[in-house]
């Protein structure tokens, strides 16, 4: 059974001393390919470097390159050209993480929207998929996306945590949906449990978003309290349970979906 983790923050400082061991644990747990998330120009460059350092054959690690809405205030006249150069690298498979975050508002909303629109324009120009972030901003995100969607090859709302209205609107716009360990959180994620049944096979992908969002249902819990890709199987188990399908079936179609979305190579079963 193969899994693809579409969202790993491997550049996070908490992983600095153990990246090789972390990847070994992930591969042993059946997570065969990973997408390393880029959230700023610097972090996107770092993600690309890690792909090259830790995957000599270029078959298992890939990355995204983009400016997160938290960093949108740093978007400037040179950002698009710098990002475009990164997106030309073969390991980089999507534009993002980009989007809107009206929950924390670390960057002014007008700047978030400008950075998002320029990254969507890049995705259209380069015909690359988009890795989207959204918190408390689904209506505005939809308004902006509608102007670009017909020209974009694909887009995924990563770490979806919204309500039914948002999910159905995203699906109506032919977006993909990424589900994380949020669904395992009995305090705030139970609303996702009936919703995952509504996501069609071929539009659903799984992600750890590690080191964040450790599945609270995981037993035993790691002493570090830190999430990692090896725990993606717990997300698989929980999502399969609430979709009423076997983990094997969910693994097969979510992995096929991710491989097609990010244009990843087929791997021979170990």
pLDDT tens for 58-76 read 999 999 999 999 999 999 9
Do you find a cis peptide bond into 211, omega within 30 degrees of 0?
yes
pLDDT band of residue 268 (cuts 50, 70, 90) is: confident
Residue 210 CA, chain-centre distance (Å), reads: 10
pLDDT of 116 higher than 80:
yes
Dist. CA 94–CA 36, nearest whole Å:
10
pLDDT tens for 69-111 read 999 999 998 999 999 999 999 999 999 999 999 999 999 999 9
Report the chain's mean pLDDT, rounded to a whole number. 96
Q: Is 208 helix (H, G, I), strand (E, B) or coil?
A: coil
pLDDT tens for 130-158 read 999 999 999 999 999 999 999 999 999 99
pLDDT tens for 194-234 read 999 999 999 999 999 999 999 999 999 998 899 999 999 99
C-beta separation of 157 from 176 below 8 A = yes
pLDDT of 126 higher than 70:
yes
Residue-by-residue DSSP string for 215-269: -TT-SSPPTT----GGGHHHHHHHHHHHHTS-HHHHHHHHHHHHHHHTTPPP---
Give me the domains of the chain, ranges plus CATH numbers.
Answer: 3-261 (3.20.20.140)
Percentage of the chain beyond pLDDT 90 is 96
C-beta separation of 189 from 163 below 8 A = no
Q: What is the pLDDT of residue 269?
A: 58
Dist. CA 84–CA 156, nearest whole Å:
20
Owner of token pair 């923050």: 9
């Amino acid at each position: 059974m193969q899994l693809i983790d579409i969202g790993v923050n491997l550049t996070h400082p908490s992983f600095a001393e153990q990246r090789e061991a972390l990847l070994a644990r992930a591969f042993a747990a059946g997570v065969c390919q990973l997408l390393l998330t880029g959230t700023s120009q610097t972090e996107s460059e770092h993600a690309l470097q890690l792909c090259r350092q830790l995957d000599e054959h270029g078959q298992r690690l890939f990355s995204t390159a983009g400016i997160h809405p938290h960093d949108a205030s740093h978007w400037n006249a040179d950002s698009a050209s710098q990002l475009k150069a990164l997106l030309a690298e073969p390991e980089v498979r999507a534009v993002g993480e980009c989007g809107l975050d009206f929950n924390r508002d670390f960057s002014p909303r007008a700047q978030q929207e400008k950075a998002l629109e320029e990254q969507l324009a890049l995705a259209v120009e380069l015909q690359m998929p988009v890795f989207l972030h959204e918190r408390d901003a689904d209506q505005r995100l939809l308004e902006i996306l509608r102007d670009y969607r017909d020209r974009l090859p694909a887009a995924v709302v990563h770490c979806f945590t919204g309500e039914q209205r948002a999910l159905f609107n995203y699906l109506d716009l032919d977006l993909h949906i990424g589900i994380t360990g949020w669904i395992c959180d009995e305090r705030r994620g139970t609303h996702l449990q009936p919703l995952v049944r509504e996501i069609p096979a071929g539009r659903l992908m799984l992600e750890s978003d590690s080191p964040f969002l450790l599945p609270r249902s995981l037993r035993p819990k790691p002493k570090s309290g830190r999430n990692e890709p090896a725990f993606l199987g717990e997300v698989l188990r929980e999502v399969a349970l609430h979709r009423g399908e076997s983990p094997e079936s969910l693994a097969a179609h979510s992995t096929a979906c991710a491989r097609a979305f990010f244009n990843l190579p087929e791997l021979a079963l170990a």
